[in-house]
Homo-oligomer: A and B are copies of this chain.
Amino acid sequence: MMLHTLAIIGVGLMGGSVGLAAKKRRVAERVVGVGRPGDALEQARRLGAIDDAAASLADAARAAQLIVVATPVSAIVTTVREAATHSAPGTLLTDVGSTKGEIVQALELTPAAPRYAGSHPLAGSERHGVDHADGDLFEDRVTVVTQTRRTDADVVQRLAQFWTSLGSRVRILSPSDHDAVLARTSHLPHLIAAALAAGLDPEQYELTASGFRDTTRIAAGDPGLWTEIVLQNRGAVLAALDAFQNRLEPLRRALDNRDAAAIHAFLTQAKKVRDALGTPPLPP
């Protein structure tokens, strides 16, 4: 896939990484970025994540064959919708939000629908901003592309090709399957890491080792972005939280009863899962 112009709306860590990867792998001849005034567009240009800052969303949308919306999740629906209005009929639209159900459902009711499918690259960092963007961010990571019975199969195929060309493996999921899984692999872990971190008093900070630091690393993520994410995926996150609390109950009882066999079995099952995931890639 070779695009003449790729437009990225919202050039932070994720949008900036899409731009860097697209340039590096010659997936797009030209990358234009859109951001609010005062955003780090100039910095994105200096870093090579975009070639030009567009004068307006409309300008960028008109010029592009593919528009990637990488704003915070609460702004995605409006932004994709506006981009669709200004873009040529053949232009593809996607977003990279961490939740998919609400976003895809809302966009399927708009004129953007025939040219849109949702994306979610399972890559990122607790950091944010284009300064931490990385052209190799998608390599060997999974990107989910969403499909519903209303989604155009050709749009899904072309988006899958785009993410593959950035180095990613692609999985096609329904928005609700995506949200149910991500609640368990990302949104709940974020809240749990935050609850562990929030429980520490300052005089205990120095009595933490790498275990605590790893376990709570994601709690350093942006509170605003994550508030939006867990609220957008509220139903699935609440279900995941319930399931998690239900797993803690037998563990609590086992501790209470000094039931070494039950604790051992619980830790063995957890280790089996964790070992199957392999060594974590280093954060970018």
Contacts and interface: CB of A to CB of B under 8 A. Distances in A.
Contacts of A2: none
Count chain B CB atoms within 10 A of each CB in A198, A230, A282 and give the residue with the most: A198
Contact of A186 (B188, B192, B211, B222): B211
A243 B199 contact: yes
Contact of A271 (B219, B245, B275): B219
A230 B192 contact: no
A144 to B, nearest CB: 7
Count chain B CB atoms within 10 A of each CB in A122, A208, A255, A258 and give the residue with the most: A208
A25 interface: no
Nearest to A122: B209
B209 A141 contact: yes
B266 A198 contact: yes
Contacts of A126: 211
Interface in A241-276: 241, 243-245, 247-248, 251-252, 255-256, 258, 260, 263-264, 266-271, 273-276
Contacts of A192: 192, 196, 215
A221 B270 CA distance: 9
Copies assembled:
2
B207 A211 contact: no
A207 B185 contact: yes
* A interface SS class: helix
Contact of A200 (B227, B271, B273, B278): B273
A184 interface: yes
Nearest to A283: B210
Contacts of A283: 210, 214
A154 interface: no
Contacts of A266: 194, 198
Count chain B CB atoms within 10 A of each CB in A204, A207, A213, A266 and give the residue with the most: A207
Given A212-B185, A234-B255, A255-B238, A207 B271 contact: no
A190 interface: yes
Contacts of A212: 185-186, 189, 277
Given A210-B283, A211-B218, A273 B197 contact: yes
A216 interface: yes
A227 B268 CA distance: 10
B234 A122 contact: no
B195 A270 contact: yes
16 contacts: A122-B209, A123-B210, A185-B208, A185-B212, A194-B271, A197-B271, A214-B215, A214-B217, A214-B218, A215-B215, A215-B216, A216-B273, A223-B271, A230-B263, A231-B260, A282-B282
